[in-house]
Amino acid sequence: MESDWELNADVVVVGSGAAGISAALAAATHGRHVVLLSKGEVGGGATALAQGGMAAAIGPDDDGSLHCSDTMQAGAGLCEPSAVAALVAAAPNTIEQLNRRGARLECTALGLEAGHSRRRIVHAGGDATGAEVHRILAAALAASPVEVHCGTIALDLLTDADGRAGGLVAGVIGSSGQPLRTGVVKARAVVLATGGFGQAFVTTTSPAGITGDGLAIAARAGADLRDLEFVQFHPTILWQQGARGRQPLITEALRGAGAVLVDAAGLPVMAGRHPLGDLAPRDVVAAAMQEQITRSGTDHLWLDATALGRAALEKDFPTVTAACRARGIDPVTEPIPVAPGAHYACGGIRAGLDGQTSMPGLFSVGEAAATGVHGANRLASNSLTESLITGHRAGDLLGRHLPEQRRNLRPPAHGPGVSAAHRPALAEAMSRHAGIARDAAGLRRLLAELNSVSPSDESGLSLATVETVSLHTASLLVATAALARAESRGCHRRSDAPTTGPSRHSVLRWRNGRIDRSEQPIQEIGVPA
């Protein structure tokens, strides 16, 4: 296998968000040689953008059983009880550890978000919690012995003849449009912490680099993938005519503080639709908004936060206020135009809370992984908490027990790739047929479009092509899973199958260019079989 460069490590971590950095730090604490690859600068993913905060049952009127109950209720029957219980139990100590590292977290005036029965959202800087978490983790990473390589994208797993992971093929990113300089990282364990695939849709809260790279890598290697049809659409993304790609998130903590979703006439959208009104779970609110938008023939709705007043908006929601004003909207005096947009992948690479996947030597943490915590719809502010917990658990496990070194490594077979010119059309097709409302006919059309794209004809491998291939792979997997699940549950809603069936996970496995699907019962989750 030809390569321009080679690295050797005990553990290679892909991704520099909360999950990836936590895994790297924990493994390095045990003296492991850790290499961390980051496609962009450290922290260029979703972590630093998180506005809401971290959920933890630390309030005087709260306890773990209530947090568990809220998580399970939001997950619509697909949460793994033991995974949820472990997350909830670890959350308070995770907050304490961040504070001991110097985080400026507000742990007394707790926030309220959709789906929570108590105020349990720990936040920082009003609506800048993710930025504070990233600040602390980045400082710890800089002071650690972890070997960091920015501007480097993982391309494929290296496996032995028995399908056990032993490293990665990766590419160093040069100037725009230039071919990647490929090389290999040999390691006894690989941790994928690459986030989701929000960029597969026209509008999203995800940064430009969140293109499903880890999911595609795991799929090509034959790892189990779970519940990919469940893509959470955040109800309130700042709307702008003709917008594409990442758009500013309007945190639902605004609704927790009293803001109200309204239509063009100023009437409340959620009135009478759910007992929690504007604070119903995200899947419920997003579906109600989409129904109202479709029925009225408009492009968006409005979030009226004017009753909160200038002082509260500027002090408690400075990020949202600044984003609105940058687009000529003053939330102090006028409603904010909003519409749902792709936000979070509830499914992903099948993994336990310690990151172990169905493939020996391969670990996955954070949004890239499907641990059983989120089920069919993520409870607000559980994701940042989960990323910190699963990242630390995976790194700690690898610090104590490393797999043996693999030999005779090779990457999976390659196809011709997908031309980057297709990326806008792919996003249009995904938003049209695999968005909030889906049906079998639309999903079949989507699959036909995905299967008919022309291959890439470029002579060298570019970043644009790699990302398009990843998005194409993620889209194929989501469409396949969504077509096969003929029911409506959580954030997967089929207009042609509106009822809910038995609670079963869907498991996909890519084999020789074919996607095989099976079902798995809800069970106590440990190391995947």
- Verify that 289 and 371 share a domain, yes or no: no
Q: What are the distances in angstroms from CA 461 to CA 100, 172, 181, 500, 529?
A: 44, 11, 9, 44, 35
3-state secondary structure of 279: helix
Q: What are the distances in angstroms from CA 462 to CA 6, 192, 346, 364?
A: 19, 21, 29, 25
- Verify that 376 and 426 share a domain, yes or no: no
User: Which tens digits make up the pLDDT trace of 22-64?
Assistant: 999 999 999 999 999 999 999 888 898 888 799 999 999 999 9
Chain centre distance of CA 401: 27
- Verify that 147 and 125 share a domain, yes or no: yes
In angstroms and rounded to an integer, the radius of gyration of the C-alpha atoms of the chain is 22
User: Which tens digits make up the pLDDT trace of 292-308?
Assistant: 999 999 999 999 999 99
Q: Say if residue 113's pLDDT is above 50.
A: yes
- Verify that 100 and 188 share a domain, yes or no: yes
Q: Say if residue 528's pLDDT is above 50.
A: no
Q: What is the CATH number of the domain that holds 443?
A: 1.20.58.100
E strand or H helix at 507, and its extent? strand 504-511
Q: Is 282 a catalytic residue?
A: yes
Token output for 529:
């079989």
Q: Say if residue 527's pLDDT is above 60.
A: no
> Please, are residues 350 and 519 in contact by the beta-carbon 8 Å criterion?
no
Q: What is the CATH number of the domain that holds 303?
A: 3.90.700.10
- Verify that 19 and 151 share a domain, yes or no: yes
Is residue 18 domain-resident? yes
3-state secondary structure of 59: coil
Boundary (domain end) residue, out of 323, 339, 355: 339
- Verify that 313 and 273 share a domain, yes or no: yes
Q: Say if residue 529's pLDDT is above 70.
A: no
The confidence score (pLDDT) of residue 524 equals 47
Residue 240 to residue 243: CA distance in whole angstroms: 6
Is residue 527 domain-resident? no
The confidence score (pLDDT) of residue 525 equals 39
Contacts 24+ apart (CB under 8 A), 429-432: 429/475, 430/200, 430/201, 430/202, 430/475, 430/478, 430/479, 431/201, 431/202, 431/203, 431/342
Q: Say if residue 219's pLDDT is above 80.
A: yes
Provide the number of structural domains found in the chain.
3
Is residue 511 domain-resident? no
Q: What are the φ and ψ backbone dihedral angles of 89, each rounded to 5 degrees?
A: -65, -35
Read off the pLDDT band of 2 (50, 70, 90): low
Token output for 135:
């600040």
Is residue 407 domain-resident? no
Task: Give the position of tokens 């390589």.
Answer: 149
- Verify that 366 and 325 share a domain, yes or no: no
User: For the chain, how many residues are written?
Assistant: 529
Reported in sequence order, the residue ranges of 260-331 that DSSP labels E, i.e. its strands, are 260-262, 301-304
- Would you give the end-to-end CA distance of the chain in angstroms? 31
- Verify that 55 and 137 share a domain, yes or no: yes
Is residue 406 domain-resident? no
- Verify that 377 and 429 share a domain, yes or no: no
> Please, are residues 348 and 372 in contact by the beta-carbon 8 Å criterion?
no
Residue 85 to residue 514: CA distance in whole angstroms: 36
**Interstrand relation of 34-38 and 6-14 (parallel, antiparallel or unpaired):** parallel
- The answer to which of 138-152, 269-283, 437-451 has the lowest mean pLDDT is 269-283
Is residue 529 domain-resident? no
Mean per-residue pLDDT for 127-140? 93
- Verify that 333 and 348 share a domain, yes or no: no
Read off the pLDDT band of 461 (50, 70, 90): confident
Give bridge partners of residue 8 from the DSSP assignment: 186
3-state helix, strand, coil in the chain (%, to 5): 35, 25, 40
Q: Which of 282, 423, 485, 493 is catalytic?
A: 282
- Verify that 189 and 271 share a domain, yes or no: no
Read off the pLDDT band of 425 (50, 70, 90): very high
- Verify that 19 and 109 share a domain, yes or no: yes
Looking at per-residue pLDDT, the higher value among 460 and 450 belongs to 450
Q: What is the CATH number of the domain that holds 160?
A: 3.50.50.60
* Average pLDDT value for the chain: 94
Q: Say if residue 433's pLDDT is above 80.
A: yes
Residue 111 neighbours by CB under 8 Å, 6+ apart: 52, 53, 119, 121, 122, 123, 253, 256, 257
The confidence score (pLDDT) of residue 203 equals 96
Read off the pLDDT band of 194 (50, 70, 90): very high
Mean per-residue pLDDT for 150-160? 97
Q: Say if residue 464's pLDDT is above 70.
A: yes
Q: Say if residue 9's pLDDT is above 90.
A: yes
Q: Say if residue 456's pLDDT is above 90.
A: no
Is residue 508 domain-resident? no
Is residue 523 domain-resident? no
Q: Say if residue 444's pLDDT is above 90.
A: yes
> Please, are residues 165 and 189 in contact by the beta-carbon 8 Å criterion?
yes
Residue 294 lies in domain: 238-339
